[in-house]
Amino acid sequence: MANHPFDENHVEELLRNMPKIKDNRNIDDIYYSVQKQMIKKTKSKKMLFIPALSLLAVVILMVVISPIFFSQEEKQSSSLDRSDHKEAVAMTASKQKAELKKTEQDKPDVNANRSDKDLISKTAVYHEDLKENNVFTYAVLTNDAVVVPVSVLAPKKDNSDWVNQYKTIGKTLAQKTPALDNFLLIHGGLAYDADTKILHITIAKKDVPSINESIQLNLNRMVQYSFAYQDVKLVDFSDENGRPIEIGELGEIESQEINKTPQTAYYLYTSSDGKDYLLPTDETFSSYQSALDAMKTMPDDFHQPVIGQDINMKVREENKNQAIVQFTNSVQIDKEENPMDMIEAILLTAKNFGFKSVQFENVKPVQWDGFDFSKPVEVPIAPNKISME
């Protein structure tokens, strides 16, 4: 199109010369057509908007409902699991209980034939123990190198030499309780003269160097503890040729008389492996009263007192065979810390002073753990009964 200057007259002339356009439609038809188009567009927009709202509503509903649904489902599942677990545990417990009951019914009652005497806690050997048994006492070295007397009960045998039985049991003791050692009496030869009541111990010359220092230092104590409770008056030693034995710093070993009344006091000793024993000291006392007074205090690191500081006793001698031990204040024996240790230590100490029995006074209850304090109580035969089973 050419560039001509703008001329209003020229433009008007052009417009007048344009062809005429006529719309023969009725004005109502035109209005109806326009309105129809407008309604169609509005309806289309509404149709698009409604699905969008529906989808949004569904999403919101799922967000709200899903946690509740899953929570209820988990609770139901958890409840079912717990219920199943409880039922399983109950069934298992019931089954185990039934099996245990059946086992107990099938198992023989070990206490059915046991007497009251078997259920008591005495640790020493008493006369009633010897109706069907012999007692053998051994002095043994513990791991602490402390000499302890222990006693073993063995069934009586007709026409049996007690020395052979003594040595046989000693070897068994060494095998079953390696923490307890008695080299001399287990490895040495024993010969007993019943008329003179002399026990002869033979130690082979080749074995003498193997006797360790602990045994050398405790030799006298071991001999006394081993045979004080047997019918032995004297113990002597020799080698296989009948010659005297010389051991280390001790030199020649001399014969030893067995002292049945050493006038020593008993205390409690606990070994390194936790075993408790009643054990005398080497200290001698002038009287039974002074020995009981000393038993309230600790004489050394190994001997523990068995009588409380608050317990006081008076000793009266009824005769040479019986002592009366009167507690100054009434003692409720079953309330004491170590009542059995206390009573048996008092009895064993009485034995070391030559008494055959002790009459206790001011002790309650009168009947307690195999003891009858209403009458004289016999002293034990030997201390520290052990089982080899």
Distance CA 369, CA 123 (A): 12
Residue 110 lies in a domain: no
Residues 127 and 94 placed together within one structural domain of the fold: no
What integer best gives the mean pLDDT of the chain? 78
Amino acid found at 227: F
| pLDDT the model gives residue 33 | 60
pLDDT digits (tens, 9 = 90+) for 281-317: 999 999 999 999 999 999 999 999 999 999 999 998 8
| pLDDT the model gives residue 23 | 59
Pairing state between β 357-364 and 322-332: parallel
| pLDDT the model gives residue 319 | 86
Residue 336 lies in a domain: yes
Please compute the mean of the pLDDT values over residues 3-30 and round it to a whole number.
Answer: 63
Residue 112 lies in a domain: no
Residue 114 lies in a domain: no
CA torsion sign for 321, 232, 226, 178 is negative
Among the residue ranges 151-160, 175-184, 196-205, 252-261, the one predicted with the least confidence is 175-184
| pLDDT the model gives residue 51 | 52
Residue 97 lies in a domain: yes
Amino acid found at 340: M
**Lookup: tokens for 299:** 């004489």
| pLDDT the model gives residue 70 | 45
Count: domains in the chain: 3
Please compute the mean of the pLDDT values over residues 247-274 and round it to a whole number.
Answer: 93
C-alpha distances in Å from residue 46, one per residue of 52, 55, 91, 119, 386: 10, 14, 66, 100, 105
Please report, rounded to a whole number, the percentage of residues in the chain having pLDDT higher than 70: 67
Pairing state between β 266-270 and 276-280: antiparallel
> HSE on the CB side for 161, CA within 13 Å?
10
| pLDDT the model gives residue 54 | 53
Distance CA 389, CA 384 (A): 15
Expressed in percent and rounded to 5, the helix, strand and coil fractions of the chain are 40, 20, 35
- Are the C-beta atoms of 140 and 181 separated by less than 8 Å? yes
Residue 134 lies in a domain: yes
Residues 226 and 313 placed together within one structural domain of the fold: no
**110 — pLDDT class (breaks 50, 70, 90):** very low
pLDDT digits (tens, 9 = 90+) for 43-57: 444 444 445 445 554
Residue 31 lies in a domain: no
Residues 277 and 302 placed together within one structural domain of the fold: yes
| pLDDT the model gives residue 32 | 55
**5 — pLDDT class (breaks 50, 70, 90):** low
Q: Which domain holds residue 329?
A: 266-378
| pLDDT the model gives residue 25 | 61
pLDDT digits (tens, 9 = 90+) for 228-245: 999 999 999 999 999 999
| pLDDT the model gives residue 1 | 45
